[in-house]
Amino acid sequence: MSIQWFPGHMHLTRKAITERVKEIDVVIEMLDARLPGSSANPLLAELTSGKPTLKVVNKQDMADPERTALWLAHYNAQANTRAIPLDASDTAPARAIIAACRELAPNRGGMVKPMRVLICGIPNVGKSTLINTLMGKRSAKTGDEAGITRNEQRLALADDFYLYDTPGMLWPRIVVPESGFNLAASGAVGRNAYDDQEVALELLAKLKVAYPALLEGRYKLGLALEAVAAMPDEDLLEAIARKRGALAAGGHANWQKAAELLIADYRSHSIGRITLETPEMFGQWLAAGHKADAERQNRKKERGNKPSKPRKR
């Protein structure tokens, strides 16, 4: 299954970013620390090419700290880029964000040349919550649902520091299947774009290998960690269903309810600190995704070049 979600208002966001970026000094992209590669928008990279970029790796308190360190090193090694981690416990993140932006654009600042910063991110990455923290009030709507913010806002973090907020935006076509599932598991795409059971099984496939102890600790399966890692995904979801009482008539596992429970536990941090990808893993997925996409485009082109069959008379 390929997960795609690009509602109409995201086209408007794309246009707004294209116009606004012409006068922007620094671009802030908020990433989900649980899926930093999948939550980095390739369309945004295209629209803001050449601009200094600050990667704010948000929700680090919900992510695997060892993998977060790998991602920070990965982004900080890139030219014209800085990366900093944030989480819900950061009560005064403005200082770190302003300092990082000034490092990226040292020639901007003061009333004559105020710093102009664009903040972007995928839906439900925590951007509105961060802005409310920065401003000390409810400047932006928040919610555990993709697509809450719909309009651009201009906010003053300091006398010479203007922040332009944009609605959350995905990209028209997700070419990395693993990213689609990770984004769905995190709540970045609308509910009508994916099947809960398929997403839950893909999520379990990653968790049982990287975090079997967290699965055992959360669901008390009574299994050795090696057994958890080796169990087929469907059997593992059924075992979770039985442990959590997600049963249908006749004592059968209620697959839909079990899937919803697992996804909710992942999103709420109830399973533990989890990161679904490393830079190396994402790089491999991305290469495979681009290769498959190129092959698809070639097949489409070949079909278009074939002469049409003559109509029968």
- pLDDT value of residue 44: 83
**Has residue 285 got a pLDDT over 90?**
yes
Mean pLDDT over residues 128-133, rounded? 85
Q: Which two tokens stand for residue 304?
A: 């278009």
The topology (CATH level 3) of 195-267 is Conserved Hypothetical Protein Ylqf; Chain: A; domain 2 (1.10.1580)
Amino acid 263 reads I
Q: How far apart are CA 213 and CA 176, in angstroms?
A: 28
pLDDT digits (tens, 9 = 90+) for 148-173: 444 567 888 888 999 998 777 777 67
Mean pLDDT over residues 105-120, rounded? 91
CB 221 within 8 Å of CB 229: no
Residue with the bigger pLDDT between 128 and 32: it is 32
Rounded to two decimals, the pTM is 0.86
Question: Of the ranges 66-75, 250-259, 288-297, which one carries the lowest mean pLDDT score?
Answer: 288-297
pLDDT digits (tens, 9 = 90+) for 7-62: 555 667 777 777 788 889 999 999 999 999 999 988 888 888 789 999 999 999 99
- pLDDT value of residue 4: 60
**Has residue 138 got a pLDDT over 80?**
no
* Domain locations along the chain: 8-165, 195-267
**Has residue 96 got a pLDDT over 80?**
yes
Mean pLDDT over residues 118-128, rounded? 88
- pLDDT value of residue 118: 92
Please, where are the H alpha helices in the chain? 8-20, 42-47, 65-76, 94-104, 127-135, 177-186, 196-210, 212-219, 225-230, 233-244, 255-267, 279-305
**Has residue 279 got a pLDDT over 50?**
yes
Buried b (16+ CB within 10 A) or exposed e, 230-250: ebebeebbbbbbbebebeeee
Judged by DSSP in three states, 113 sits in strand
Please report, rounded to a whole number, the percentage of residues in the chain having pLDDT higher than 70: 87
Mean pLDDT over residues 195-206, rounded? 97
Superfamily of domain 8-165: P-loop containing nucleotide triphosphate hydrolases (3.40.50.300)
Residue 12 CB contacts under 8 Å (≥ 6 apart), including other chains:
none
Can you tell me which residue has the tokens 């984004």? 183
| CA distances to 17, 45, 71, 80, 147 from 21, in Å | 6, 11, 26, 16, 21
Q: Is the dihedral of CA 61, 35, 1, 242 positive or negative?
A: negative
Amino acid 59 reads K
